[in-house]
Amino acid sequence: MADYYLQIDRINVRYGDIQVLWDVSFEAQKGEIIALVGSNGAGKSTSVKAAAGLVPTFGGHIRIDGQDLTGGTCRRFIDHGIILCPEGRQLFPQMTVYENLEMGACSKESAARKKETVEKIFTWFPKLKERQKQLAGTLSGGEQQMVAFSRGLMGLPKVLMMDEPSLGLAPNIVDDIFHIARQISREDGLTVVLVEQDVRKALKLANRGYVLENGVINIKGTAEELLNNEEVKKAYLGI
Ligand SMILES: Nc1ncnc2c1ncn2[C@@H]1O[C@H](COP(=O)(O)OP(=O)(O)OP(=O)(O)O)[C@@H](O)[C@H]1O
Ligand SMILES: [Mg+2]
């Protein structure tokens, strides 16, 4: 446990009087891709929001590279390279693709390296280069997801949390995005936390996975173990 780069260690979250996460733990090595799966309302988005410092937790700890960020401001999480690509993309529709990307360079270091990061992103997604002046609200769903993912990369993440990137997209676009996420994790040691409804797809990309049910992690294992787990097969893979 002590060796993991990212450690979410028994966190709890409540909204008002209602507790929605119960001692949730997940962890990842540097450069590892983990998947967080589960049904609607299980607490997946809450888990990644909490891990990114966007909702308060009680009990438990959130650590990155040995540093305890528990209770810190979201600014502190960003400065430590923990970045969330939120569910539903949350782009600025009246701003151009380029301006949306710029918004992602929100730490001091990423702001200083903004131009070089944009150039890198344009080599991965040539389409965004072509459309850099187009208003984000007029892009197709797939293009918008490329912008949302790229905006996350603009912050020079060490840990990138992606909340349901595949929602409503054609499989080939999702494959493109996953392929690039895999490449960056291999080459630059980016750690990825992927929240997905498409459990099969998520476990094909991820090294390991966690199944969240009613705010509790009930099953965890390597991607292969989960793909062969009878409970997972029945509940999430339709086998
Ligand atoms: N801001 C909020 N205020 C009150 N309750 C909330 C809030 N956000 C989420 N919840 C509740 O917390 C629970 C977990 O929600 P969450 O969005 O984390 O689930 P999820 O697993 O991401 O679901 P989905 O697959 O539908 O995106 C749900 O019961 C939801 O109604
Ligand atoms: Mg969600």
Per-residue pLDDT, 105 = 95
Cα 114 to ligand 2 centre (Å): 29
Q: 197-219: per-residue pLDDT in tens? A: 889 999 999 999 999 999 999 99
Set out the domains of the chain in order of their start, with CATH numbers: 6-15+24-92+157-236 (3.40.50.300)
Cα 133 to ligand 2 centre (Å): 30
Mean pLDDT over the full length of the chain:
94
Per-residue pLDDT, 91 = 95
Q: What is the pTM of this model?
A: 0.95
CA dihedral 21, 157, 195, 216 (to 10 degrees): -20
Tell the burial category of 134 from Cβ atoms under 10 Å away from its Cβ (0-12, 13-18, 19+): middle
Per-residue pLDDT, 96 = 97
Distance CA 80, CA 199 (A): 29
42 lines ligand 1 (CB under 6 A): yes
Low-confidence residues in the chain, pLDDT < 70: 1-2
Distance CA 226, CA 232 (A): 6
For residues 143 and 111, the answer to whether their CB atoms sit within 8 Å is no
38 lines ligand 1 (CB under 6 A): yes
Per-residue pLDDT, 94 = 97
Q: 70-93: per-residue pLDDT in tens? A: 999 999 999 999 999 998 889 999
Ligand nearest to the CA of 211: 1
